[in-house]
Structure 1
Amino acid sequence: MQRSTHTTQYTVLSIPHRIPFQRRSLQGLAVERQRETLLNPHVTWIKITDPATKGIVAAAKWFIWPPSTSPSPSPAQLEAGSPGAQAGQAKRWPDRVDATWVLPEEKGLTSGAGSDDQYISWVMEQSPKRRRERIQGPAVLLDTCFCAPSHQRRGAGKQLLEWGCKKADELGVTAFVGSSFAGRRLYESCGFVVAEDVKLEPGKVKAEWKAYGEIEYKFMFREKRTAKGVAS
């Protein structure tokens, strides 16, 4: 559903390696992400289960910032000691994302993109950069959405999406999502429109990165509405 976005945000799991990454790096990253999710009051996971097996067949991770939420303080505000920063307001997005999950003793073990920390850091930074620029103040963001292959095209993704759209309407806020080309129709069916056709061209940053290929996805948004679905 979101392969291009997944590639952008989780590059280490998508790029080819001649030998596997050591499992403890990935396990440590997974544990860290889950801990951050549990501690973040703005994160909500929803799931769809199979009544027969009770297993999870689809799930989505939503960020929800209600109208009482203020924009994250900028670096200048933090430096100047603005009221929001002085009150301990948490920053919504990190200043930068990099390949810090690669343990020091693992560097150099892989060949190709897996050993190119600069490339990985550059790709990983692209999505948060757009989020920092575009998603401030009250908003809803679909961060992750997945569905088991055996249950695709059966409405699970639509249910997960409608849940978030309903929440956005209840709060009267704008919703955002990064979409693959395949997922665009689903999002458009719920009122999302394309704000930017994102095309990452690593070869224009460094010539040796050209072999990694281009990454394309859609940055989409859905205008804020009332609970009755009327755009405000």
Structure 2
Amino acid sequence: MPLQLLPLEESDIDAQSEINWQAFKPGIMGVLFPSGYKPEDRAWMKESTLRDWHQHPEFNRAFKVIDTDLPRNDPLKQIVGTAKWKIYPAARTQFELDAADKEAKAGGRPPNAGPALKAFREACGRNKREILGGKPYMLLHVLATHPQHQRRGVGGLHLQWGKDEADRLGLPMYLESSPEGKAVYERHGFEFVKWLEWDAREFGHQDACRHAIMMRPAKRV
């Protein structure tokens, strides 16, 4: 079968960055990076990702889907989609939550990110605190499929791994979805919780770029 799910390696981060940009440029990425996702932004994101992986390997999981029918010299290394997960299998104290927030803020932000990024991060963080607090859960941080390879089941491969892992650990799953992705997640057992209190029109975007907070209940297999 040409589509294969594999662990994302450090050498794949540049391809992941490009896929994220291509997938979300019409929506959230276009809002967060109104002047474009430039080389210095990608370099910052790569450094930030690697730092997080090295400091917290126990929480991080990342995967890629490759299409083996693509040529070996494909500029994206045959990668057609990627996903980044955070797994918190045990309850965290208020001190641990505050320390994680402090660490994230200390990391700064990409050089060309607009003011919308700070507001979006704050809205996402605030809702996670309100809904989950320090409870154990599994976060789908980002799932992106290159536009040329959408509707081929790439996202489904990522989600199946996530559901299997969440069920193995007995964890609920949490994500923020664009309106376009909402129906896909519903087919995989996610339930709508609320709309994120964030409106891209406040930052000059013509569309609200709404995001749905969704959860899949914990199951023990």
The two structures have a TM-score, normalised by structure 2, of 0.71
Please say if residues 31 and 205 of structure 2, whose CA atoms lie closer than 8 Å, have aligned partners that are also in contact.
no
Q: Structure 1 residue aligned with 2:43, among 16, 24, 27?
A: 27
- The match for 1:106 is none
- The match for 1:58 is 81
Superimposed CA distance per residue, residues 52-85 of structure 1 (whole angstroms, 9 cap, x where no aligned partner): 336111111111122xx222x32xxx4xxxxxx6
SS at match of 1:58: strand
Superimposed CA distance per residue, residues 4-26 of structure 1 (whole angstroms, 9 cap, x where no aligned partner): 9x728x8543x2x3xx6874354
SS at match of 2:118: helix
Matches of 1:21 and 1:187, distance apart in 2: 27
Matches of 1:180 and 1:23, distance apart in 2: 25
Superimposed CA distance per residue, residues 92-145 of structure 1 (whole angstroms, 9 cap, x where no aligned partner): 444875993366xxxxxx8xx94xx4x542233111221222233221111011
Please identify the structure whose Cα radius of gyration is greater. Answer: 1
- The match for 2:204 is 211
Structure 1 residues 82-101: aligned runs within 5 Å: 91-94=99-102, 97=105, 100-101=108-109
- The answer on 1:189 being equivalent to 2:187 is yes
Superimposed CA distance per residue, residues 205-224 of structure 1 (whole angstroms, 9 cap, x where no aligned partner): xxxx4634533110000111
- The match for 2:215 is 221
Matches of 1:133 and 1:126, distance apart in 2: 11
- CA shift in 2, pair 1:31/1:96, >3 Å: closer
Matches of 1:161 and 1:37, distance apart in 2: 21
Matches of 1:179 and 1:92, distance apart in 2: 23
Q: Structure 2 residue aligned with 1:70, among 91, 109, 118?
A: 91
Give percent identity, aligned residues only: 22
Please say if residues 200 and 216 of structure 1, whose CA atoms lie closer than 8 Å, have aligned partners that are also in contact.
yes
| Structure 2 residue ranges without an equivalent (≥5) | 1-19, 73-77
C-alpha RMSD over aligned residues = 3.3
- The match for 1:173 is 171
- The match for 1:48 is 65
Please say if residues 98 and 122 of structure 1, whose CA atoms lie closer than 8 Å, have aligned partners that are also in contact.
no
SS at match of 1:144: strand
Matches of 1:49 and 1:92, distance apart in 2: 32
Superimposed CA distance per residue, residues 159-191 of structure 1 (whole angstroms, 9 cap, x where no aligned partner): 101110111111111011111111111111111
- CA shift in 2, pair 1:94/1:190, >3 Å: farther
Please say if residues 96 and 125 of structure 1, whose CA atoms lie closer than 8 Å, have aligned partners that are also in contact.
no
Matches of 1:153 and 1:226, distance apart in 2: 30
| Structure 1 residue ranges without an equivalent (≥5) | 79-84, 104-109, 204-208, 228-232
Matches of 1:139 and 1:56, distance apart in 2: 28
Amino acid aligned to 1:42: F
Amino acid aligned to 2:61: T
- CA shift in 2, pair 1:26/1:46, >3 Å: closer
